[in-house]
Structure 1
Amino acid sequence: MTDDRYVDRVAVVTGGSRGIGRQTVERLARDGYRVVVNYAGSKSGAEDAVAAVAAEGGTAIAVRADVADEVAAVFDRAEESFGGVDVVVHAAGRMALGPLVDFDLAALDDLHRTNIRGTFVVDQQAARRVRPGGAIINFSTSVVGTSFPEYSAYAASKGAVEAITMIVARELRGRDVTVNAVAPGPTATELFLDGKDEQTVARLAAAVPLERLGTPADIAEVVAFLAGPAGHWVNGQNIRINGGLV
């Protein structure tokens, strides 16, 4: 059931074609948001997300853009189609793992371009355009705290995301716009599972006190809380959503 508090609210979700981003699209649409689904490469996944929202009576559109360069077009489309932007969920990201001693510097540059520059570019547009009462939600990772081996490049990029988030929250003083980051732990997404054998996945799941991997729905529920009126007193925070992993 649509909540009257969300009538006429518009959300932009980057990386909305799969994983946590896709789940977030559907979760916000259930609250009544009109959703702009940004994607980079998976047009079919974005179209599937739009179709899933429509099947539940919601409204969504898909817009392709590279978050590190072309994201202004996504915000332009949101304003042209729906009149403005209230919530930005920046879920797009890249992961590459390996020991620092052997890590390919070209892969490092690609990782940081998407995760650091992408966050900077998306937040820049969001800071200019999100309406009063709105929210900006970035994605970090619990690995910034757990410091697992082979995550140095990825964790470094997400540490930058956390720094950007805290500073933008303070720069938007007086705008009535919250800025937070969520930091998932091991979550059963394609991005997380890629390249991991069953033994590694089982070990990571067992490390969590709840003894399971997280799900995209676990993360999307927290994002929806931060996006909505109930979470509007939460600002300038990084929230680790990881089942108690330390």
Structure 2
Amino acid sequence: MTHRAPELHTTEDGSLTLYAPTFGEHYHSMHGAVQESEHIYLGLALRERMSSWREGDVPLRLFEVGFGTGLNALLSWREAEERHIPLQYYSIEKFPITPEIYEVLHYEGLGQEREVKDQLLRLHTAPWDEAVELSPFFTLHKLRGDLTTCTFPERLSVIYYDAFSPESQPELWAEELFQRLGKVASSGAILSTYCAKGEVRRRLQRSGFLVERLPGPPGKREVLRGRIP
């Protein structure tokens, strides 16, 4: 498959996303990129896991499938700063976006525009395949590669499963990947994904996750959340 450069689009809440011609899909919901990320990944996973973190606990370890525009990383970084909870953020990406795209990304409503743009640039210009401490509460480790062949981080607290759909990238929704993630997830770990397909739910269940269907953000009736008991 020949990879084609993504195109910048504006979603209904005014936030930006990308359209991937290679896969025929947007990186986020066109009903609103920020509200989708806030609901599915922060609301159902990171904040839920942070609620049980206590002073003196080890840093939370998060693995994101698909770094993309860096929006999930940006929101998670800001959440860690606000709560003063240390977060080690791992994210894998096979097709990183270019400076021509990430230099024009912006997200109004998330604070001072200059600060948000500076954080986005720091996320995107951070070197690949090494840990970079971007603040006392946020360490980024971007992995450049293929999810199907990478070595997953250990002792994961949170997993954002944000790959393109099973229709366009079926190999990224294979049960074998969920089984591998289940083995590196800590007790109480949470996985969240926008995909609510029955077969994905069953694969997660067979891989050791306790799975529930939950209401989705605007434009999405249901999403899935899995927990390691």
TM-score, normalized by the shorter chain, greater than 0.5: no
Rg: which structure is higher?
Answer: 1
Higher normalized strand content (fraction of residues): 2
